[in-house]
Amino acid sequence: MAFNEQLANRIREQLRFFPDDFTEKKMFGGVSFLHKGKMTVGVMKENLMVRIVSDKIEVELDKDSVRPMDFTKRPIKEFVYVSQDGVKTETELLHYIELGLQHAKSKL
């Protein structure tokens, strides 16, 4: 399944500025970026997917560009999709990478 390679490249570029180790893995028909084996963000088709800690997810879901990740036809706990409109700038993308990293670190 194809995914937005341009968005994946933007994520790769941002991850260079983090001191944390990230690995890349094909998942969900797209690509995911993991911190110490824990999924942080990824790209599925045209969407950014992000894993967010429970106490911050409602704030993100209030944004027009964010919706529950529901590729199984049901929302998946602590996962959201962010449309292209939500990551137009590098600052917006960085925000979601940081949320994903926060989630990964909370699971270590």
**Dihedral pair phi/psi, residue 23, rounded to 5°:** -120, 160
In the structure encoding, which two tokens stand for residue 69, read together? 């990740």
CATH number at residue 91: 3.90.1150.30
Integer Cα distance of 73 and 4 in angstroms: 22
Integer Cα distance of 90 and 92 in angstroms: 5
The total of structural domains in the chain comes to: 1
Which tens digit of pLDDT belongs to each residue from 42-91?
999 999 999 999 999 999 999 999 999 987 788 889 999 999 999 999 99
Tell me what the pLDDT averaged over the chain comes to. Answer: 94
- Compute the C-alpha angle 54/100/32, nearest 5°: 125
- Compute the C-alpha angle 95/56/20, nearest 5°: 45
pTM for this structure?
A: 0.94
Q: Which domain holds residue 76?
A: 5-106
User: What pLDDT is attached to residue 1?
Assistant: 56
